[in-house]
Amino acid sequence: MKSDIKSERLAKEGKLKIEWARNFMPVLSLIRDRFKKEKPLKGIRVGCCLHVTSETANLVITLKAAGAKVNLCASNPLSTQDDVAASLVEDYEISVFAVKGEDNKRYYRHISSILDTRPHITMDDGADLVSAIHKKRENLAKEVIAGTEETTTGVIRLKSLEKKKLLLIPMFAVNDAQTKHLFDNRYGTGQSTIDGIIRATNVLLSGTKFVVCGYGWCGRGVAMRARGMGANVIVCEIDPIKALEAVMDGYQVMPINEAAKIGDIFVTTTGDINVIDKQNFLKMKDGVIVANAGHFDVEINLKALKVLSKSRKAIRGYIAQYTLKNGRRINVLAEGRLINLAAAEGHPASVMDMSFANQALTCEYIKKNADKLKIKVYKIPEIIDKNIARLKLKSLGVKIDKLTKKQREYLSSWQLGT
Amino acid sequence: MKSDIKSERLAKEGKLKIEWARNFMPVLSLIRDRFKKEKPLKGIRVGCCLHVTSETANLVITLKAAGAKVNLCASNPLSTQDDVAASLVEDYEISVFAVKGEDNKRYYRHISSILDTRPHITMDDGADLVSAIHKKRENLAKEVIAGTEETTTGVIRLKSLEKKKLLLIPMFAVNDAQTKHLFDNRYGTGQSTIDGIIRATNVLLSGTKFVVCGYGWCGRGVAMRARGMGANVIVCEIDPIKALEAVMDGYQVMPINEAAKIGDIFVTTTGDINVIDKQNFLKMKDGVIVANAGHFDVEINLKALKVLSKSRKAIRGYIAQYTLKNGRRINVLAEGRLINLAAAEGHPASVMDMSFANQALTCEYIKKNADKLKIKVYKIPEIIDKNIARLKLKSLGVKIDKLTKKQREYLSSWQLGT
Amino acid sequence: MKSDIKSERLAKEGKLKIEWARNFMPVLSLIRDRFKKEKPLKGIRVGCCLHVTSETANLVITLKAAGAKVNLCASNPLSTQDDVAASLVEDYEISVFAVKGEDNKRYYRHISSILDTRPHITMDDGADLVSAIHKKRENLAKEVIAGTEETTTGVIRLKSLEKKKLLLIPMFAVNDAQTKHLFDNRYGTGQSTIDGIIRATNVLLSGTKFVVCGYGWCGRGVAMRARGMGANVIVCEIDPIKALEAVMDGYQVMPINEAAKIGDIFVTTTGDINVIDKQNFLKMKDGVIVANAGHFDVEINLKALKVLSKSRKAIRGYIAQYTLKNGRRINVLAEGRLINLAAAEGHPASVMDMSFANQALTCEYIKKNADKLKIKVYKIPEIIDKNIARLKLKSLGVKIDKLTKKQREYLSSWQLGT
Amino acid sequence: MKSDIKSERLAKEGKLKIEWARNFMPVLSLIRDRFKKEKPLKGIRVGCCLHVTSETANLVITLKAAGAKVNLCASNPLSTQDDVAASLVEDYEISVFAVKGEDNKRYYRHISSILDTRPHITMDDGADLVSAIHKKRENLAKEVIAGTEETTTGVIRLKSLEKKKLLLIPMFAVNDAQTKHLFDNRYGTGQSTIDGIIRATNVLLSGTKFVVCGYGWCGRGVAMRARGMGANVIVCEIDPIKALEAVMDGYQVMPINEAAKIGDIFVTTTGDINVIDKQNFLKMKDGVIVANAGHFDVEINLKALKVLSKSRKAIRGYIAQYTLKNGRRINVLAEGRLINLAAAEGHPASVMDMSFANQALTCEYIKKNADKLKIKVYKIPEIIDKNIARLKLKSLGVKIDKLTKKQREYLSSWQLGT
């Protein structure tokens, strides 16, 4: 079994981490128990390009329990937990190609290694694996039954491919499952972004002006938690409906160039580029903190910042302090990469539990329906979605009501009135 | 001009109310100004079955300014503001058939009066008007170009008709516009339900166990505001995904029969029947308060409650106190009808501003596209939706960002990666 | 029995109101039951100058049950509930001198009527009764055993008297009891101020800029609830420590003259004069709403506003719309008087339950300790305070922990360390 | 210069940490600038027993700048940042006796080392230094001008000494300054406790039952922030007034033995012993998390837990997992020591800024008033308190209002009335 990881000797610590995460992933555990008996993925090669964390470990272990042959590489050069990678290789005999802090060249070599295994199913977090197939290894596409995609960003890319009729593979937008994006993007990103910022800086959020760029699910999660920590939140948006929602939620809304003048902390969650740009940096106060919670490290225009700066100094673990020519200092966290994965531990396990339950059940669905799939971007079947919610509630000990026969009838009638 | 209202002499007070509401309806005002010039509804008969409030008044005035012939009846026997009705008749020369507290017979006679005018466009709030056409005046359908529907409840009924292939008229689900349901159902119902309960009871919400049945947009609005007033909120649901969201939002979630034992205040927001039923009443503590914020007065099973009770006593304006045979007292607000309209003034004008801007612009759209419409339930065109949000932000003095060319390109590309 | 009220015929409705309030005043009810047996105030004349509401009714009924002879006048010309006054006279045989909307002359005549009864105990809400004694009826002081004062404002006045050595009577600062000011001023004023503003205007709070002047207990209650309704709250303060707390609580803090430019709604809660003054009105946007939640109607400088205005128009029940010479309109609620009492029903009964339990138990304490009292401003004995909290928890069905013997020992030791 | 630290080689990293913290301590920086010129502590030996963190470093540097001779030891065996200690020794020439994880013997030896320097002023965080003087080095007391105490816990111990007439030294309760306990205990402990729990466990707080024992300033800070992260908070209390406040703030309140059955996460913030005790552990669900945010590690009865357990296993950095004989697992964080200092970085710098500004200015006050001090527990003079708030607001760029002459007059008058 080939692998490329930091060091096998980290396996012991990694194993404890994986087991700790498992405690908070009861839904995935129930699925794994069933998969172990039924082996629904027997003979299937799954190529995964995911953040190599203790939660992901539990997903790939589940896939392996289902009979799949799993190969894993990182979906981000900074997000790998080296000890987890080691344990997967040593304790679970899963091939892993991922080293925290790897350079771009090694990162893409790792993606290649996964493609070399000729996967039947691809699993992406940002669409890098499937993009690589589309860009330079088109011949692999015919062997791929279907792929799954975890993120908003990735789904945007896939839909762009689909629209341009360039898509080669049936794809499942796991991100669009309700048990995924309603929870992971909001509660997961919300908490872990705050966590990442605090770990990196130990700044008191209470009383700060906290600017959130983008009021999608991630953005509103971050805004909600920042307010929950006592910050005075300002939202920047380009969509009028979302902007209006932010206003109605009690936040100040203004263009980024206005927010730049008064903010203490800035977080980008848009999926777009140059959200914080040259003219914004020039407006900022001395000592501000700038971080990104979007998938790619393109949201903060670091190139522009470098041009504006006379010096750059590393402070603490994840802080680079740029001193502008105007004398003001701007503290950029984690080089503008995903702050929650870089400086903290990514989404908590109990949120990933549902996202990855979607991944696991979608793999099973792909295998079962291999013959019927068309080349398009699919939604996750609603039955999978609701089933996961039901399992999660059960694991939390929460009971809910059921419709009575009479109530069901009423809902489907149109004649009953005032 | 025929009308049936309480008394013309109330017109003066009603006029002040209508003008006061207008202050908070800047979007509709902008539309009215344009309609006055362009007369896009010239020659069109619009039959409206809506809550007769000061906000609705501004809508029908806008339609009239557009050249329409407007006739208005109530969509709920308790929600009419008699002074507003009077002013519409006296000051604005619009036919109104609505008297607060009218009995069922008069209510349906008023609906008939509207149908007698042979509307080209129907406008519903709960689908009573369009249901009447489907039930007993099918011959009118051919003259109707299309209808609009304001509520979740009404849209459910229309979709049921559509599914059963019984729909006779193209219908527009105004409720499903984002600038409608995201705002009206959540912020509007949220505030006005709390307002209705406090006006009816003057109860301190802080520290109470506040049970919300249903965690749709209305339910989460009510839950959010009840918490905002210091209540300890409990949510009851039948949908596992919504239930899980309520858990993640920090609420307790449990079946209604458990909540019945500990709740101090109960509010239903489900669109279904018998949400609070016989067995629940029997579990309740002495002195609880029960109210409905759903469209119809079917959510609280009052028939069952009457059977369980040994006496019923009217207290204050909107409270009926039932004393059960077990000695405990249950205070039902507004006979289980919409509490925010019965005991308070319904949604605030600034929320209705957007809902009714959708109504007005959809009427214009129906007229323009009369030839192309099919018999189905339509969504509101996105361009109308975003336009309304933009006008609202403008009226609030809120500026937002625009995508740069480069950002737009990035969003539509698929090749840019890590 | 002499009285001066609006009309005896309102008694029936008033009686229902008093009984409804009683449901939410379990602590006072327990005290009344005991007083009825023990008659601790036998032969005592109590002169009360309080807001004549259904909650106050329950207090004076309790005092009467204790054997006292009670006379009641209003502590504010606008806050009287005429039906409650009628019921007190008709059903409970208590003298009342209070008519909603009475002019200043009648207001002071009513205070005189109370003084004419030569009270042994005075009970004030704003210190008007006791001020009248100090100003012009000093001879009455010698018969007064002691007085109680309900409000922050009143206590400030009493301490000023005490400091200047002009105080003639032992006074008890009921306001300073924890079960009073922590609850009444914060949760009571918080909810009822929001309630008053919504009843008067039906404005949607969500998304408004809501300016709170003063961040004492009342101000933070109002700010907390306004935020809870979705407003974007701005705080104005003169005390640096309170201002800093407001910042840390996530609010914007700025001088009133800055807030004047951007606010949509303004509420004063300071206890001081001219908090919103001439130069502020000139900065305000068109259509703003201005209200007062402080005790006296001096916080908004209406005289200055009148000078600036070219017209004044009554709109709806409690709104006076001033049109400035600059064309902008300012809507003043309830003539700048206490908005929660004028436009709503004052504090909810369950909050007044504790305030008035303090009043009742303090009267008993005064009688018992008549010989020992000195001429000074007293705090409420802690044992009364804690006892009330305990009774309230009991009535809510809430159980709490008790210190074990070992825990008590630990707390009183100093030797135990790291 | 004598010292006992982990390693001088950590100095470089420590220096960066100290400088980073300084950015968030503008008030202390202003004081240091003045002290550098005025040297108000010239010739004074200050013995400090404080958490050795980057914030404390800035305090002792400030004292040294004032001309004092400063010696520092840890106030908790687990809270020392070894790199900061190294930098203080290497870069700032301050004696430090502190090693993270030191055993009890070494801990007390370090306290002795400080006492050996015969301090003029003692500075405590938990009263260990001053207790040592009272227990076994009474002879040192006569040289001590006065001491300061940072914590609630310490102040309780000092007041116990004072009450028993055993106090030997004038002491200043820095904890009781408003700019200390209103901010540090609430906002500081609130955020850093949440931070510590997340760093130790990466648990998702959203949707958990989060039990807070104690609703003092620390407890309400933790409760507020836990709710802000989406948890469903349950409060346990022994004081009826605080319990009632928690109810009114919308939390569930119940005895710990009830909460034990349903909680997912437990935090103690009481200052008392055995708050979570044997019978509570037996009620807990499998997999719960238990942490302490109170000063001493006595709040969770670990001895009792050990007796109940069949095994104990270390998981991740700060988690000890106890498996009870009933099979359920209880995860105790940081051995029951202060979670925010052990697993996170203690209070953020901007909160300590104010606490330590109080410490610095109180030292100056002690020196100036050395002759007048009596042996008692002093409050911090109000002028110091307000001055610090003013400096903090200034550093945040927040402006506030000033009373006009007329407003000041009004507040001090008693004659103005309704």
The DSSP code sequence of C324-381 is: ETTS-EEEEEGGGSBHHHHTS-SS-HHHHHHHHHHHHHHHHHHHHTTTT--SSEEPPP
What residue in D sits closest to A55 (Cα-Cα)?
A: D202
The answer on pLDDT for D417 being more than 80 is no
Taking the C-alpha atoms of residue A59 and residue A68, their distance in angstroms, rounded to an integer, is: 12
Q: Which residues does chain B have within 8 Å of residue C319's beta carbon, measured at their own beta carbons? A: 20
Residue type, C83: D
For residue D135, give the nearest of C76, C392, C415 by CB distance: C415
pLDDT at residue number A182: 85
pLDDT at residue number C414: 61
pLDDT at residue number B79: 85
Least confident piece of the model among A119-128, A161-170, B97-106, B177-186: B177-186
> D390-406: per-residue pLDDT in tens?
999 999 999 999 999 99
Taking the C-alpha atoms of residue B62 and residue B18, their distance in angstroms, rounded to an integer, is: 12
How far is C317 from chain A, CA to nearest CA, in Å? 27
Alpha-carbon distances of D86 from D53, D81, D97, D232, D385, rounded to whole Å: 11, 9, 10, 42, 32
In angstroms, how far is CA A4 from the centroid of its own chain? Answer: 23
Question: Average pLDDT over chain D, rounded to whole?
Answer: 95
Choose from B204, B211, B224, B232 for mutation: most chain D CBs within 10 A. Answer: B232
The answer on pLDDT for D56 being more than 80 is yes
> A182-232: per-residue pLDDT in tens?
888 899 999 999 999 999 999 999 999 999 999 999 999 999 999 999 999
- Look up residue C320 and give its DSSP letter: E
Alpha-carbon distances of A141 from A122, A159, D2, rounded to whole Å: 10, 17, 70
Alpha helical stretches, state H, B104-177 = 104-116, 128-136, 152-163
Q: What is the mean pLDDT of residues A300-314?
A: 96
Choose from C225, C232, C241, C251 for mutation: most chain A CBs within 10 A. Answer: C232
**Phi, psi (5° rounding) for residue D383?**
-65, -35
Least confident piece of the model among A337-346, C163-172, D22-31: A337-346
Smallest CA-to-CA distance from D242 within C225, C401, C349, B263 is with: C401
Taking the C-alpha atoms of residue C255 and residue B146, their distance in angstroms, rounded to an integer, is: 54
- Look up residue C181 and give its DSSP letter: I
Taking the C-alpha atoms of residue D24 and residue D27, their distance in angstroms, rounded to an integer, is: 9
pLDDT at residue number B182: 85
CB contact under 8 A, C396 and D247: yes
Q: Which residues of chain B have pLDDT under 50?
A: 417-418
CB pairs under 8 A between A and C: 33
Partner A, chain D 10-29, Cβ-Cβ below 8 Å: 16-17, 19-21, 23-24
pLDDT at residue number C81: 93
At D414, the pLDDT band (50, 70, 90 cuts) reads low
At A413, the pLDDT band (50, 70, 90 cuts) reads confident
What residue in A sits closest to D189 (Cα-Cα)?
A: A204
Q: Which residues does chain C have within 8 Å of residue D396's beta carbon, measured at their own beta carbons? A: 247
What residue in A sits closest to C251 (Cα-Cα)?
A: A232
CB contact under 8 A, D232 and B248: no
Taking the C-alpha atoms of residue D294 and residue D275, their distance in angstroms, rounded to an integer, is: 11
CB pairs under 8 A between B and C: 106
The whole-number mean pLDDT for each consecutive block of 10 residues of chain C, a chain of 418 residues, reads: 92 94 95 97 97 96 98 92 97 97 95 97 96 95 96 90 95 95 91 96 96 96 98 97 97 98 97 96 97 93 97 90 96 95 89 95 97 96 95 94 92 62
**Helix or strand (DSSP H, E) at C54:** helix C54-65
pLDDT at residue number A415: 56
Q: Which residues does chain C have within 8 Å of residue B203's beta carbon, measured at their own beta carbons? A: 24, 348-350
Q: What is the mean pLDDT of residues D308-334?
A: 94
The answer on pLDDT for D79 being more than 90 is no
- Asked if residue B250 lies in contact with residue D227, where contact means CB atoms within 8 angstroms, the answer is yes
CB contact under 8 A, D251 and B232: yes
> Measured at the alpha carbon of residue C17, what is the angle toward residues C13 and C23, in degrees to the nearest 5?
150
- Asked if residue D45 lies in contact with residue D69, where contact means CB atoms within 8 angstroms, the answer is yes
Question: Average pLDDT over chain A, rounded to whole?
Answer: 95
Q: What does pTM read for this prediction?
A: 0.92
Choose from D225, D232, D244, D248 for mutation: most chain B CBs within 10 A. Answer: D232
pLDDT at residue number B415: 56
> D224-248: per-residue pLDDT in tens?
999 999 999 999 999 999 999 999 9
Interface residue D178 vs chain C (CB under 8 A): yes
Q: Which two tokens stand for residue B320?
A: 């009926």
Interface residue A415 vs chain B (CB under 8 A): yes
Residue with tokens 């308060």, as numbered in its chain? B289
Alpha-carbon distances of A375 from A128, B411, B416, rounded to whole Å: 18, 22, 22
- What is the side-by-side strand order in the sheet with A309-315? A252-253, A232-236, A209-213, A265-268, A288-292, A329-333, A319-324, A309-315
**Phi, psi (5° rounding) for residue C244?**
-65, -40
At A418, the pLDDT band (50, 70, 90 cuts) reads very low
pLDDT at residue number B395: 92
Q: What is the mean pLDDT of residues A324-334?
A: 97
Least confident piece of the model among A47-51, A273-277, B184-188, D33-37: B184-188
pLDDT at residue number D1: 64
Interface residue C157 vs chain B (CB under 8 A): no
- Asked if residue A128 lies in contact with residue A106, where contact means CB atoms within 8 angstroms, the answer is no
- Asked if residue B149 lies in contact with residue B170, where contact means CB atoms within 8 angstroms, the answer is no
